[in-house]
A and B are shown apart, each in its own frame.
Chain A
Amino acid sequence: MNTKVVVAGVELKNPVMTASGTFGSGQEYSEFVDLNALGAVVTKGVAREPWPGNPTPRLAETYGGMLNAIGLQNPGMEVFCKRDLPMLKKYDTKVVVNVCGKTTEDYCAVVERLGEEPVDLLEINISCPNVKEGGIAFGQDPGAAEAITRELKKRARQPLILKLSPNVTDIAEIAKAVEAGGADALSLINTLTGMKIDIQRRTFALANQTGGLSGPAIKPVAVRMVYQAARAVKLPIIGMGGITRWEDAVEFLLAGATAIAVGTGNFRNPCATVEIVEGIRRYMEENRIGDIRELIGAVR
């Protein structure tokens, strides 16, 4: 049985990855899951300098999901390269580093710095709804998305995955724009912008007022967008949004994703990723599917 997939020239032993921001750099979850069993670990966003993130409360649960407004707290690229990368390299899994920034120059600096490091793929976050500058500002305008992709592509040593926002009118248009800019793959979806109000305290549940909605509640939106993007571009797609179990993962593959990522599902079950790897295998066995590639985009 073949469970290997190829994303932008990088072969993953299986299509199961982690979604950026939910898994740190993998250290904490390595107490629960064997990172060697994963197709790839996708790190939390790494910026040029340390970022303190937003005030608390940063989290609020909603029906079938949650809102977060962490604000991309991270130690910056130097600490990441010295501390987190050597830890990750001990494992037999692919390393995908998520890159965040406020300006094009910020993104360029991180992409150039990571070019010197043993990183397999870069995932460019142009879709975070929780920071005022950068992030989603690049991801909601096709022209800006194409331009930053082009700039980064000139400097990148590793293939580039562009992580797209669902907070757009037409996902296909943005997908085509970053493809035109030279993207090697797409990740979608990031979180949907949401809000929760605490009726007892009569104020916002999050200090940031708005946050990114994730979890099972957003899965149908994510599946639809992966399907639309897969029809619009030739790039491999990493599908995510509300995956908590193997059935969800298979759904994304059928919609056109080459790989999938588990995010909020890790909070629900810290062992979710490895259980999904097992579940996909069983599904393939039971349905006599010899190669996982038979599933990718099989529903048209």
Chain B
Amino acid sequence: MMSKRKENCRVISQEEISPGIYSLWLQTEQIAAGARPGQFVSLYCRGESRLLPRPISLCEIEKEQGRLRLVYRVAGEGTREFSRLSKGDALEVIGPLGNGFPLEECRQKKIVLLGGGIGIPPMLEVAKRLDGDVTMVAGYRADLFLQEDFAACAKLVIATEDGSAGVQGNVLDALREKELSADMLLACGPTPMLRAVKEYAAKEDIPCWISMEERMACGIGACLGCVCRSREVDAHSQVHNKRVCKDGPVFLSTEVELP
């Protein structure tokens, strides 16, 4: 495994691809070369008023060129600062962080990817890497993004809460309406969605991997700020707390509790 690094990266390009959703391409020295789908990087703000790095999932990885694509939503002052970056600007980045999706377990299988809201972007690199029968179910509030990118590498099913495109409802509504079957589910999205996906997977007896989110500080497993409840005793502290940043963010759905 490639080691984590802190690098001063350059912005290649940035555009707002949907209201409040930005697509940022970064030139890295080595971070991209070691990165896997489902991992994330953390971006530092300028100055020290916003102290902590912001964890953002990897949307696309171009290993050879050393490029990373991040697609993120402006959620506060930190991401607002990033949204103002343009070509040539410098940005401090730490990564690659976390474990990533277990693509080796997905080979030659029928895979359904489920992405909700800003949980959609990390599924793109997954979809590009998988070689089996892959369907992406993308759940939006209303405005679509990345739909063309997904359509180019997987079967795409769209769900919108307001019914303005695709199936009206959430990703599970779309999964049921399209009667999609799967050997394995991979999901990323808000906790209520992940909870529903976990229940669905248990009922249908389908192995399911979910990518979780939690407030982070160090991003590398030292501070124990971002733990989630785990079924098994964790290796680090011998309690029932897995670290989202290091043991995750991707967990087998049966491995974690989503209260």
Whether B51 lies near A75 (C-beta < 8 A) is no
Question: Could you say which residues of chain A place their CB within 8 Å of the CB of B214?
Answer: 56-57
Partner-contacting stretch, out of A18-26, A180-188, A231-239, A276-284: A18-26
A32-B6, A56-B215, A57-B214 known; A64+B51 contact, CB < 8 A: yes
Whether A64 lies near B215 (C-beta < 8 A) is no
A31 CA to B2 CA in the complex, in Å? Answer: 11
A53 lies within 8 A of chain B by Cβ: yes
Nearest-CB distance from B44 to chain A (Å)?
A: 7
Most buried by A among B217, B223, B225, B240: B223
Whether B222 lies near A28 (C-beta < 8 A) is yes
In terms of DSSP, what is the predominant structure of the interface of chain B?
loop
Question: Could you say which residues of chain A place their CB within 8 Å of the CB of B223?
Answer: 21-22, 24, 59, 68, 70, 267
A32-B4, A56-B227, A64-B49 known; A73+B237 contact, CB < 8 A: yes
Whether B238 lies near A56 (C-beta < 8 A) is no
Question: Could you say which residues of chain B place their CB within 8 Å of the CB of A64?
Answer: 48-49, 51
Nearest-CB distance from B117 to chain A (Å)?
A: 16
A154 lies within 8 A of chain B by Cβ: no
A79 lies within 8 A of chain B by Cβ: yes
Q: Which of A247-300 touch B at CB < 8 Å?
A: 264, 266-271
Which of A31, A52, A216 meets B220, CB within 8 Å? A31
B236 lies within 8 A of chain A by Cβ: yes
Q: Which of B221-252 touch A at CB < 8 Å?
A: 221-228, 236-241, 246
A68-B225, A73-B227 known; A79+B49 contact, CB < 8 A: no
Q: Which of B193-225 touch A at CB < 8 Å?
A: 214-225
Q: Give a binary string over B163-197; 1 marks a CB under 8 Å from any A CB, 0 the rest.
A: 00000000000000000000000000000000000
Nearest-CB distance from A115 to chain B (Å)?
A: 22
Whether A58 lies near B51 (C-beta < 8 A) is no
A170 CA to B94 CA in the complex, in Å? Answer: 41
A28-B222, A59-B225 known; A267+B215 contact, CB < 8 A: no
A57-B215, A268-B48 known; A70+B225 contact, CB < 8 A: yes
Of chain B, the residue at the smallest CB distance from A68 is: B225
A29 lies within 8 A of chain B by Cβ: yes
Question: Could you say which residues of chain A place their CB within 8 Å of the CB of B225?
Answer: 58-59, 68, 70
Whether A24 lies near B222 (C-beta < 8 A) is yes
Nearest-CB distance from B240 to chain A (Å)?
A: 7
Of chain A, the residue at the smallest CB distance from B244 is: A56
Taking residues whose C-beta sits less than 8 angstroms from the other chain, chain A's interface range is: 35 or more
B17 lies within 8 A of chain A by Cβ: no
Whether A215 lies near B51 (C-beta < 8 A) is yes
B107 lies within 8 A of chain A by Cβ: no
B109 lies within 8 A of chain A by Cβ: no
A53-B239, A61-B52, A267-B51 known; A31+B224 contact, CB < 8 A: no
Question: Could you say which residues of chain B place their CB within 8 Å of the CB of A215?
Answer: 48, 51
Whether A269 lies near B217 (C-beta < 8 A) is no
Whether A58 lies near B215 (C-beta < 8 A) is yes
A61-B51, A68-B225 known; A51+B6 contact, CB < 8 A: no
Whether A58 lies near B227 (C-beta < 8 A) is yes
Whether A50 lies near B48 (C-beta < 8 A) is no
A24-B222, A31-B4, A271-B6 known; A59+B217 contact, CB < 8 A: yes
Whether A65 lies near B51 (C-beta < 8 A) is yes
Most buried by A among B6, B52, B53, B216: B52
Q: Which residues of A are at the interface with B, using a C-beta cutoff of 8 A?
A: 21-24, 28-29, 31-32, 44, 50-53, 56-61, 63-66, 68, 70, 73-76, 79, 215-216, 244, 264, 266-271
Can you name 5 A-B residue pairings with CB atoms under 8 Å? A52-B237, A53-B227, A64-B48, A70-B224, A267-B218
4 smallest beta-carbon distances between A and B, as pairs: A24-B222, A52-B239, A28-B222, A59-B225
